[in-house]
Every structure is written in structure tokens, then in C-alpha cells.
Structure 1
Amino acid sequence: MDSVTDASSTNPYEPSVTSGPDYSPSDEQSWWRRPAGGREVLTMALPLVISSLSWTVMTFVDRVLLAQQSGDAMTAAFAAGTVWFSTLCLPLGIAMYTSTFVSQYFGAGRNDRIGVAVWQGVWLALAVSPFLLMAIPMAPALFRLAGHSDSITELELIYFQILCWGGPPMVVAQALASFYSGRGKTSVVMVVDTSVAVLNLALDWIWIFGYLGFPAMGIAGAAWATVVSIWIKALIYAILVLQRKHQIEFGTLAGMRFDWPLFIRQIYYGGPSGLQLVLDVLGFTVFIVLTGRLGNIEAEATTMAFSVSTLAFMPVWGFGMAATILVGQHLGENREHLAARATWTSLVFALGYMATISLTYLAVPDLYLVPFFAGDRAADTHAAVRALAITLLQFVAAYNLLDATLMIFSSAIKGAGDTQFVLRVSVVMAISLSVLSWMAVEWLKLGVFGCWTLITLWVWVMGVVFLWRFLGGKWRTMRVIEQTPPDLSGTTLETEPALP
């Protein structure tokens, strides 16, 4: 299908909607009320923003509580948690991409395909679970390569090996959550994720410090609190998805079967999305590990700055998820102009949020840093870490707007199925970040400010690249679902769109 163009459009990349089969008088309403306008995007995105913030606040408070014990515990939790997440990125990215299939099927009115699409993500999670657990015995050799101090390495091992038990349910929960997020029922995702985050924080308080009769377990208690909460989240989503009304309308029980053609299609499109997540997180992980070699103060300040920056990043992740879902739904309806409009509207919200949060980083950085110093800390270390962290937050403020641009446009083209391009860019950029980080630390000896200048430039380049790809418009002709109802009893893919 060719994308619609109109030379008279005020925006050359958003086609006119004043004529043609997609035209509706409602398209001429205000920016807020029109289709794919402010109200539609915010209704979709706000629950996802709150859901993302719940995870962010959970991990943020987790590190704050550990910082009250020691800076080493906080640093170890951040580094080990980042490595753990990197082991999940491939299957988690594919499971997350299930929402794109759900959104396009939903937009196309193919409710009978939604249940089976969700379960292909679950079967993937179960298939990779043994491999996720294999990271436990491999952890000692992995963390010794980082070259961190013995005290930090010991804490990293404890935290990482416990977290590994939460990997399988994490992927299962993400696949099941796509049943709701892909259909735009994001308030359900918000309620579940927020409730689980509150549970996690309560368990953190009890198990880290030893309240209500439990022993004080420190960093191990923080890890077990996360694992227990993730298992409970997976169970909640399973119960919700298998409600009888969903079995009838969306085939959530009948679809609990392995569908080879659909499974392959989800791997084909979701695999690059997962690999992109792997590469992006891997690049950041290498950056964090190498920065940790500069010294404990540099490592601790970097941990604080990245922890605080997630307060900006994760809500924009919610807007990015909304862009993915809305692009998928509107492309499923074959209304590319609304998919484009939803993307631009999402960008407006994301940039507005990022600009506001960046100003607070510059004006009142202690608003975010004070909680890290609530414990009994040496005064000289306190002052040195605080001063460096304040400077690093200025770097975060410098790249935040391009980070929002990167997130929104990469999410939009993934919602269409343009995941191969996303993967190619991520391969080049992740390798570049890793190699340049090593050169900055080990060869050029640029120090912590040189490393942070590098990460800032890296984000700027990524933002520009994905903006360019979106403006190119190739995503408009893409679909991840079959265009005509297929005979899925066999393995032929003849009714599917050509794979790009």
C-alpha cells in the first residue's frame, strides 16, 4: 500500500486529511480533540507513563535505601541490575513487541488472532528460561572481568544471582501485559504495575533493614523483594488474561497453543527489536563498567546521575510505548496519516516533559540527590560525590531532548514493523559507544567528564538518525500482520506481507 501524499499539506511528512476515503469531519477538530490528537495520545500514554514511573521509583528508592547502608551497596546494585537487565533484553524485547501484533490485529478488527498472538510471547519466555538461569553459574567470571574492587564485586554477585530467578516471570508478565497495552487498555497495566511496585517497596523496607521479624538482609533482601514482586505480577496478569469474557471475545484460552507461522513472524519482527534493546543496554553497561574503573567516587556519582536520569527517561518510554501502540492500531486500520499524527503528538508531550525535568536538574539538583545522602556517610566523600553528581546531571540535561526524540521516533517505526533498520543502527551505535568508552578510559585517559561528553554526543546522533528515518516515510507501507485472513493450519506464509 502506498502512503498518501499531498503537496498542499502544511507538513510535508503528514498527508492532508481533507479528502479521500480516510477523511472525516472530526479530523478538523482542535489539536486536543481530533483523532490522534492530544486527548487520544494522553489517554493512551498517561497510564503507561505512570506504569513506567512506578518501576523507576521502585528502582530509585531501592538504591536510596541501599545507599543508607553504604555507597558500595548502591553502586553494586546499579551495576549488577544493569547487567541482569541486559541478559533479559532479547526475549524481553520480543515479548514487548507482542503488543505491536495485538495493536495491529485490534485495529484490523481481527480479535480472533489476539489471544494466540499473546501466547506466542509466553511460549518464547518459557523456551528461553533455562538460558536465563544459566547466567547464575557464569556470574563470578563475568563480574571479575569488570575490574571493580573486591567489596563491590562481592555485592554485585549477590544481587545479580538472586535477580536471575526473576528473569522468566519478567518476560512472561511482559507478554501477557501486551494483551491490554496493545488494545489500548493501558489503565490495567498501570494498576497492576503500580500495585506490584508498592509491594516491592514494602518488601525492600522489611528485608533490607530487617523489620516485622525478618532478618536484615541488605542487598540480598533488595534482590529477593524484586524477584518475589515480579513472580506475583506474572501471576496477576495470567489471571486477568484468562478471564472468561476474554476467552470468549479474544480466544485467550483457545489461543493457548503453539502457532508456528505466527511464532516465526513474531520472532522475525520482534527479534530485531529485542536485539536493539540488547545492544543499547550493552553499550550503556560497558560505559558504566568502564566508568567504574575511574574510581569509587566517579562510579558512585555516575550511578546517582543515571539513577536520577531514569526519572526523565522512563516516563518518555511510556510515551514511546503509546506511539508504538497507536501507530500499530492506525496502520491496522490502514490510516497512515493518523499514525503519523499520533507520533508527532507524542513527541510534543515527550519534549515538554523532558524540558521541564531538565530545568529542575539545572536549578534544583539536590531535589534528586539529597535522598542518597540520608545515611551515615563520611563528610568528605559526601561532598565529593555530590559535587560530581551535580555536574553529571548537567550532562543529562544536555541530552534529554534528543533522548526524547530518539525514543519517540524509534518507537513509532517499530510500531510499523521497521525493526530491521532499528537493529542496524543499534549495532553500529552500540559498538561505537563501547569502543569509544574503552578508548576514553583506557587509552586517552579523558576521565569522567570525557566519558560523559561521549555519551551526550552518542544520544544526539541517535536522535537525529531516527528522526531522519521517520521523515523518510518508508514505515507507512509496512505491516507485521497478514493482510488477508490466512490458513494457519499449514506453514505457508503466502498470504503474509513481503518481509522487508
Structure 2
Amino acid sequence: MLDTLERTDSSSPTDERSWWSRPCGIRELLWIALPLIASTASWSMTSFVDRMFLFWYSPESMAAALPAGMLHFTLLCFPIGLASYLNTFVAQYDGAGRPEQIGAVIRKGVQFGAVMVPLYFLTIPLAAWAFQMVGHAPEVQVLEVRYFQILSFGAGASVVSAAMSCFFTGRGKTTLVMFVEIGSCVLNVVLDGLFVFGFCGEWLEGITGAAVATTASQWFKVIAYFILLWKPARGGEFGLLDWSRDEPGLLGRIFRYGSASGFQVLLEVGTFTGFTFLMGRMGLTAMTASTLAVDINALTFVPMIGLGTGIATLVGREIGHEDPRRAATATWSGLVIALIYAGTMGMTYFLVPDFFLAAHAMGMEPTEFEEIRVLSIFLLRFVAFFCVFDALNVVAVSTLKGAGDVRFIMVVGIVFSLILASLAFAFVWLGQIHVAGLWLVMTSWVILLAITHWVRFFTGQWRQKNVIDPA
């Protein structure tokens, strides 16, 4: 089937090698993507352990961590989406054989991140107002505000490290990124264990300690990437310290394409944040069960982000090399990997949901956990379908982003998010908010996004896109 698709996808002769060994095939994609999958899996594990420790400490703490963390990440989405899109610039310059421009791209991304560091401090006094507007229980609001305010001190570091990492991911040098991300994860988990349960003093106990641990781990990544970039910066090959090599209009192109990418990420995550806030209006049990379902789904979705970065890197490289046929091969390779992984995870969510709830159950009395367990298992039925279409969407979006077709993605995000927001407001106005209804709407939203982006891929318009000017 895949060979047929490739033959119909291009007038070029079909590569006789297998899908495993051909250029941009499964083997090459896995070589680039596996370290990234390990990196993003470490994010997922960090979040999972974070909230599991908080759940053991108190269910209110975990219930507060999801909406506060989602609001924090929503505010990060645009700048991180912009900074992460430097990966496409680096990949296309690398494919075009113009490494001297890569340093200018990274330098501008780091400067942008540095500007964002103090700007995030301005969100700290707004936290109390924001969570008061949501209408969660007062004891949960206090924890939400505290968690959000502490995370704000590490927000700018997340943007800076995202820009720095593109120097390696865009060139396919993903192993170093894996070690940095895993190191950050290990640091976060160790500090969580020390702080959350009060081993370092009561002032760091609970949700306060979890937020401090996360903030410290973000600044750890900035320091690690700075050390790794020092040698290539002194070497001069990539122009990291040579302002004279900057292309005219480069900053404008970075903001034009990166802003569209960042806005698309903001729309999708913002919509999901609104979904979690609505869940919070339905009581502690619904909020806790939804938090568990989202955390468990992250075990599938977050590794897909790493796969998507690998796909975007290969697509960007081949677009820069003016070979869209191989870029399409990278997409089909990514599709195979995504379907195998997400399909397997979806089956386990459906067939053995208690396996994923066992660790959380250890932190509560069985009678207290039973109501949460029943609702969580019900929600995992939705997650089983949700995660597969989410993976399909990641593959298609990564291809379009790797080529530079970000405006289409942004427009689709605007239209679909407006539709979903309208439905949510209608439910609130009619007083008809139900757990199953909200999850059904969210699942339908992801399915429609996946279908729309794949239709765009099949039109082939992405083949004529690029983000770099001709040499």
C-alpha cells in the first residue's frame, strides 16, 4: 500500500529499497526521532510523576496542578511555538548546504527568549484574578494561584532552551538533546520527591515544592545547552557569534512563519485548557478523573511530539534540498510508526485501564479512590480513540510545518477552535455540562483536525513551500 502511495505521489522513479532502509525511511526517521521521543517521553514522565506525587500528597493539589499548569503552558505556547519553529529553518538551511545561516537563526531565537523572561513576571499578579474567574472551589484556587506564580519564574527559560535545542534537532543531532531533556527530567523527579513530601522543610511542601522543582529543571536546560553550544560557537562554522552573516529579512521571516506556528499551538492548547477549566466546574471527582485521563493520554501524545519533530526535520531538510518526494517518504514512515505506537496504547487503555491507574491508587484508601477509578476508566474509553487520531494529526501537521505551510494550519486552528468554543459556551449557557459530552466534543475536534490536515497533505500544495530565501 505504501509503495503504491509513493508511486502516485510523485512522477520520480520509486526507490527500490525497502521502506526500512531507503532515504527518509523508517530506519532513518527512527534514528533521528527516537532520541526526541525519549526526550519528550521524559516530559511526560515528569508531568506524570509530578501529579502522582501531588495526588499522594492530596487530591486537591493534583486537581489544582492541571488547570494551573495548563494556563501556564497556554501562555508559553506562542513563544515556544515560535522558538521551536526555528527547527524548520535550521533543517532547510542544512539541507540547502548553507550552515553559515544556522547560527543567525539560533541567535535570534535566544534573544527572543531572553526578552520573554521578564515579561512572564508580569503575569504573576494576574493569577488570583484568573482563577477566581474560573469558579473552582476556594481551596483549589489557592493552590492553583501558588503553582502558577512559581512556574512563571521558569517560563522564559523554557523559551530560551527551546530555541537552543533547534541547533541540534534541525541538523538531526538529537542524541545530545535527549541527554539534556532526560537530565532535566531526573532533576525534576528527584527534587519533587524531596520537596513535595516536606523533606526540605514545610515551606517547600506540597504544590509549592512541585512548582519549584519544575522551575529549577527548566533553568538546568538553559545552562546545559549553553555549555553544548560553546564549542561550535567558538569554531565559527555556523556563525553563532558572527552578526555579519545575517541574511537580510531573516528576522522578519522567522516571525512570519514562527508566529503562525506559535499561534496554531496556542489555539489548540488554549482550547484544551478551556476544556480542563470546564471540567473543574463539575466537581472534584470529575476534575481528578479528567486529570488522570489527560496524564495517561500524555504517555501517548507527548512521545508523538518527538516523532513529529523528527518528521519535520526530515521534511525540512528535503525541502531545502529540493526533493519533496523524499519529504513525502518521511511522512509515510512517520505514519507507520505513529499508527503502531498509538494503536497499541489505545488498545491497552481500552482493555487494561487499571494498569495505568494502579500507581495513583496506592496513594489513597481503596474506598475513596473507587469513585475516581470508575469515572477514569470510562474516560479512558474516549482516550483510546482520541490518542490514535491525535497521532495522525501530529504526523500531518509536522509535515506541513516542516515544509513551511503554517498559514493553512493556523487558519484551520482558528476555525475549529471557534466552533469548539461556541459549543462550550452554549453548554454553559444552557446549564448542560456533562463529562461524557465534553469528552465527546473534544474527541470529535481532534478527529476533524486530523482529517483536514491530511486532506491538505494530499493536495500536495506543501511541496512548493519553503521558509528560506534562495542562496
TM-score (norm 2): 0.96
1:78 matches 2:73:
no
Structure 2, gaps ≥5 residues long? none
Using the alignment, how far apart are the partners of 2:260 and 2:198 within structure 1?
43
1:17 matches 2:4:
no
Change in CA separation of 1:74 and 1:312 when aligned onto 2, cut-off 3 Å: same
2:165 to 177, 183, 188: 177
Partner of 1:308: 296
Moved more, 82-91 or 211-220: 211-220
Does structure 2 conserve the Cα–Cα contact (< 8 Å) formed by 1:97 and 1:270? yes
Partner of 2:435: 448
Partner of 1:418: 405
Does structure 2 conserve the Cα–Cα contact (< 8 Å) formed by 1:120 and 1:258? no
1:392 matches 2:387:
no
Partner of 2:264: 276
Report the CA distance between 1:9 and its aligned residue.
6.3
Letter in 2 for 1:237: Y
Letter in 2 for 1:226: T
1:439 to 426, 450, 470: 426
Letter in 2 for 1:264: G
Report the CA distance between 1:259 and its aligned residue.
6.8
Report the CA distance between 1:439 and its aligned residue.
2.4
Partner of 1:34: 22
Report the CA distance between 1:127 and its aligned residue.
2.3
Using the alignment, how far apart are the partners of 2:168 and 2:108 within structure 1?
15
**Partner deviation per Cα, 1:363-401 (whole Å, 9 max, x = no partner):** 111111121222244x44311110000010110112222
Does structure 2 conserve the Cα–Cα contact (< 8 Å) formed by 1:44 and 1:184? yes
Partner of 2:284: 296
**Partner deviation per Cα, 1:82-103 (whole Å, 9 max, x = no partner):** 0000001111100000010000
Does structure 1 conserve the Cα–Cα contact (< 8 Å) formed by 2:320 and 2:466? yes
Report the CA distance between 1:217 and its aligned residue.
1.5
Does structure 1 conserve the Cα–Cα contact (< 8 Å) formed by 2:195 and 2:210? yes
Pairwise mapping of residues 222-371 of structure 1 onto structure 2 (< 5 A)? 222-244=210-232, 247-255=235-243, 261-371=249-359
2:368 to 381, 385, 391: 381
Change in CA separation of 1:143 and 1:214 when aligned onto 2, cut-off 3 Å: closer
TM-score (norm 1): 0.90
Using the alignment, how far apart are the partners of 2:136 and 2:233 within structure 1?
53
Partner of 1:134: 122
Report the CA distance between 1:248 and its aligned residue.
2.4
Letter in 2 for 1:401: V
Q: Which has the higher helix share?
A: 2
Letter in 2 for 1:394: R
Does structure 2 conserve the Cα–Cα contact (< 8 Å) formed by 1:75 and 1:299? yes
Partner of 1:461: 448
Does structure 2 conserve the Cα–Cα contact (< 8 Å) formed by 1:148 and 1:293? yes
Using the alignment, how far apart are the partners of 1:255 and 1:315 within structure 2?
36
Moved more, 403-412 or 435-444: 435-444
Using the alignment, how far apart are the partners of 1:373 and 1:423 within structure 2?
40
Using the alignment, how far apart are the partners of 2:41 and 2:28 within structure 1?
20
1:474 to 455, 461, 467: 461
> Percent identity between the aligned chains?
39
Structure 1, gaps ≥5 residues long? 1-7, 20-26, 485-500
Give the secondary structure class of the aligned counterpart of 1:482: coil
**Partner deviation per Cα, 1:148-192 (whole Å, 9 max, x = no partner):** 000100000010000000111110000000000000001111111
Letter in 2 for 1:15: S
Partner of 2:415: 428
Does structure 2 conserve the Cα–Cα contact (< 8 Å) formed by 1:13 and 1:473? no
Partner of 2:206: 218
1:150 matches 2:138:
yes
Report the CA distance between 1:318 and its aligned residue.
1.1
Pairwise mapping of residues 37-56 of structure 1 onto structure 2 (< 5 A)? 37-56=25-44
Does structure 2 conserve the Cα–Cα contact (< 8 Å) formed by 1:287 and 1:434? no
Does structure 2 conserve the Cα–Cα contact (< 8 Å) formed by 1:291 and 1:441? no
Change in CA separation of 1:383 and 1:221 when aligned onto 2, cut-off 3 Å: same
> Cα RMSD over matched residues?
1.8
Moved more, 407-416 or 432-441: 432-441
Using the alignment, how far apart are the partners of 1:256 and 1:365 within structure 2?
57
Does structure 1 conserve the Cα–Cα contact (< 8 Å) formed by 2:57 and 2:196? no
**Partner deviation per Cα, 1:280-333 (whole Å, 9 max, x = no partner):** 111001111011111111111001000110001011111111111110000111
Using the alignment, how far apart are the partners of 1:16 and 1:350 within structure 2?
27
Report the CA distance between 1:135 and its aligned residue.
0.8
Give the secondary structure class of the aligned counterpart of 1:242: helix
Letter in 2 for 1:103: A
Report the CA distance between 1:440 and its aligned residue.
2.9
Report the CA distance between 1:10 and its aligned residue.
5.1
Change in CA separation of 1:255 and 1:169 when aligned onto 2, cut-off 3 Å: farther
